[in-house]
Structure 1
Amino acid sequence: MPQGSRPRLRAIIVGAGIGGLTMAHALHKAGIDFIVVEKHAHVDAPVGGLLVILPGSLRILHQIGLLAGLKAVANKTLPRIVAWDPELQSSIASVSDMHVKHGEHALVVERRKLVSFLYEALPDKSKILTSRPVVGVQHEADGVRVDFPDGLFEKGDLVVGADGVHSVVRSAMWECADMKDLGLMKANDRKTVFQQWKCLWGLAPRKGDIDYGYTIRNCGEGRSAGLITGSDKIGMCLTWKLGSDEMRRETQYTADEAEESAASFSRQLLAEDVVFGDLWSAKERGALLDIEVSCQKRWHHGRIVLVGDAVHCVTIVSGFGGNMCIESAAVLANTLHEAIVVNEERAKDRLSGSELETALRRYQERRLPRALKSCRLAHLFERLQAQDGLWMRLSARFVLPWLFPVLIAWIYSQWVRGSPVLDF
């Protein structure tokens, strides 16, 4: 590109989490200019617990050139998934042969370490702007502007909302859509909601002889638990359905509310000889939050587009969340790269607003079916583990123990097979 010329596309990525930083790496590989704005003072803020990164996502990271480095910071490979019923009868599904079927083991990694690794691996860290909470997004004649509380702003061609469940960009997108299209979609019709759950999660040092792997347990009374063990950390979560008279909170619960909830589960067995209260008392961090298994019906408007938890959200127990963020970033990067290549073949310097919106519509068409399928699968998985309803209770007690070893391995294998890849 000649010196002083305007880049062919400039993306403003809001949120330096897994989705936002994967998006940054993918755009860099595609030769697309970007900046990332993050509300926290540090990218590696102590947020989140342990994640499972499946081979499909590892394939995308390998294409970007990040796999070897990620393996160095990952806690452990995932050898097995163990399901415990309320009577502590276990069923074991081995996933240790994932590398045979898909080329790589599933990796267990702390979210904070993954985000820090993605940040450190960026060639130009000056493109990451911290302490930049977004307060507004405005469309302009030839682009879009992102506003910050101190009066500063950034201008670009596209805003990518990777700012999580409580997305400011998503709210701005709907505000812009309502102003232009006079109520494009009613608020309660903007997403497909499968279920709302309450979740208590924590991260603690690994101690004792707790086996490596991922443990899920039906705890009775509509509750399920998850326990994932890395080389030096243990991630835990308890999940139960919101009552019919409860409203999902948009803000995180206070530390006192989390402690009060944890006290009521202090004697809860997560697995054989593993008590929730013992792990919680030793935790490094943890929180109580409401989770909505949902998928937005519209992923873009004008020059605004959403990725990751801002557009699709699942519970912790399924293990899909971080992987879905990586996948959405890859599909959006593919679509933008394709649109730019077509534009250059027509000897045009830049994408027009209508051409960009066509590309974003194509992104949604390509990604939405798999995202919906993933949300449905995560929803079913959670309901089975919580024995939510008569049919789920009967299935979990009399069918799942026999099918679990084969079914779980097959489900995860099929899910990995359908994972997208970068096509440039």
Structure 2
Amino acid sequence: MLIPTSGVRMKRAVIVGAGIAGLATARRLAQDGWHPLVVERAPARRSGGYLVNLLGAGYDAAERLGLVPALSDRALGLFTTVLVRADGRPKLTVPSAVAAAALGPRTMTVFRGDLENALYEAVRDHAEIRFGTTIATINQDAGRVKISFSDGTTENADLLVGADGVHSATRTALFGPDHRVDLPYVVAAFPLPQPPAEVPESSATTFIGPGRTAAIVNLGPHRSSAFFTYRCADPGRELTRGPVDALRAAFGDLAGGVPEAIRHVETDPSSAYFDRVSQVDAPRWSIGRVALLGDAAWCVTLFAGHGAALALAGADQLGAALRRHGHDVPSALAEWETGLRPEIVKRQALARRGMYQYAPPSRFHVWMNDVTIRAITLPGIHGLVRRGIERQNR
């Protein structure tokens, strides 16, 4: 843990949430001489097993945060994607070279849990981390934020960052409860200790049908995962059913490794991330010395595919703004939001369009998606796709 230099007061930051956004913020601020305290509601560390892509500003931030060496050892590399029919028979194949062309050279695919592990290892000796702790009260004036915690302690901080996810209690307490926009979809993602035999090694099989997608990635034992999403009239009712019954009802007719993946959830329901799909559309991300970051501020949904990258980039850019403005925290937060918000707005719009890819509304839309994917695999076309992706990531 950092020890203050004699005679020098280290700036104190309290960060709510020990996920990617919170740990990245703690890492960036510690690099600049802050003394971060991370509080997490859960009693211990949690990790999810689905895949995240770090590209564009997200990859740049991972470099500046010193994460790339640790992540390189856990990078999953590229794999072939096979679109399948409901009975598991292949429909068309997207070679890994097409993915490489689309993503570009400065990209990395890792498990979310491995990214969180790398961040935790980078932060643990430079920040205080308290599990099983929540915020009870927040009061601020022009110079400080006074925070009391559920364990009875208090802190006087220069900055409070709410990085506590899409269901953020910090956002509800200070910014109001109505900024989360729930969409008529649910999503499930979880690791697979053993990949289904029906899925070829170093590949992903993906079924896309009206209103639903099921994808199984086989990268070997303890390096495989499953992803499901579907449209539904009442996401809350689906969550009440739980991942086992909900996935069995929505995908029980599929073959090609899907039944085996669902059986894994039956044996270990706690391994699954299972939630409604939501975006957060907050008109502002800061009040005085309190800021929201990551999904708490701008959740773009898994349909956007940039959640982890935006969390890293947001934390990195916040640190840069705070360094430029010194003790003027409100001005730093205002500059940070002004610079980052256009990218968030763009990603949220892309996610809304992405719903037609993950949950096409009709068989016609499924057919149109197939036509688009077939076109991408044609010689010369994936170069155009790469340039389009690069323009999006600038």
TM-score, normalised to structure 1's length? 0.78
1:202 Cα deviation after fit: 2.8
2:193 counterpart residue number = 205
1:108 counterpart residue number = 110
1:233 aligns with 2:206: no
1:299 counterpart residue number = 285
- Partners of 2:286 and 2:212 in 1: how far apart? 35
1:172 counterpart residue number = 173
Compared CA separation, residues 396 and 266, structure 1 to 2 (3 A): closer
Compared CA separation, residues 324 and 101, structure 1 to 2 (3 A): closer
**Aligned residue type for 2:202:** Y
**Aligned residue type for 1:169:** T
- Partners of 1:409 and 1:153 in 2: how far apart? 55
Q: How does 1:375-394 map to 2 (within 5 A)?
A: 375-388=348-361, 392-393=365-366
- Partners of 1:16 and 1:168 in 2: how far apart? 14
Give the 3-state SS of the residue equivalent to 1:274 in structure 2.
coil
1:130-177 CA deviation, whole Å, 9 max, x = no partner?
Answer: 2212233222452112222232222201111111111011112215xx
- Partners of 1:214 and 1:378 in 2: how far apart? 21
Q: How does 1:13-52 map to 2 (within 5 A)?
A: 13-43=15-45, 45=46, 47-52=47-52
- What RMSD over aligned residues (CA atoms) do the two structures have, in Å? 3.3
1:230 Cα deviation after fit: 3.5
Any conservation in 1 of the 2:280–2:296 contact (CA below 8 Å)? no
**Matched pairs, number:** 380
1:338-393 CA deviation, whole Å, 9 max, x = no partner?
Answer: 212xxxxxxxxx33xxxx22221211111111112112222222312321268845
2:257 counterpart residue number = 275
Give the 3-state SS of the residue equivalent to 2:70 in structure 1.
helix
TM-score, normalised to structure 2's length? 0.83
Identical amino acids, percent of aligned pairs = 24
1:6 counterpart residue number = 9
Any conservation in 1 of the 2:101–2:386 contact (CA below 8 Å)? no
- Partners of 2:97 and 2:319 in 1: how far apart? 30
2:325 counterpart residue number = 339
**Aligned residue type for 1:124:** D
**Aligned residue type for 2:257:** V
Give the 3-state SS of the residue equivalent to 1:68 in structure 2.
helix
Give the 3-state SS of the residue equivalent to 2:323 in structure 1.
helix
**Aligned residue type for 1:202:** F
Any conservation in 2 of the 1:223–1:241 contact (CA below 8 Å)? yes
1:60 Cα deviation after fit: 1.9
- Partners of 1:278 and 1:173 in 2: how far apart? 44
Q: How does 1:358-373 map to 2 (within 5 A)?
A: 358-373=331-346
Any conservation in 1 of the 2:98–2:377 contact (CA below 8 Å)? no
**Aligned residue type for 2:242:** E
Compared CA separation, residues 362 and 69, structure 1 to 2 (3 A): same
1:79 Cα deviation after fit: 3.1
Compared CA separation, residues 96 and 387, structure 1 to 2 (3 A): closer
Give the 3-state SS of the residue equivalent to 2:239 in structure 1.
coil
1:65-107 CA deviation, whole Å, 9 max, x = no partner?
Answer: 2211112234x21234444466852241535774998544522
**Aligned residue type for 2:187:** C
Unpaired stretches in structure 1, ≥5 consecutive residues: 176-186, 341-349
1:407 Cα deviation after fit: 7.3
- Partners of 1:397 and 1:387 in 2: how far apart? 11
1:403 Cα deviation after fit: 3.7
- Deviation above 6 Å: which 4+ runs of structure 1? 404-409
Unpaired stretches in structure 2, ≥5 consecutive residues: none
1:401 Cα deviation after fit: 3.3
2:312 to 317, 320, 326: 326
1:18-54 CA deviation, whole Å, 9 max, x = no partner?
Answer: 11111111112223332211122223x2x42222232
1:277-312 CA deviation, whole Å, 9 max, x = no partner?
Answer: 211212442243211134433211111111111122
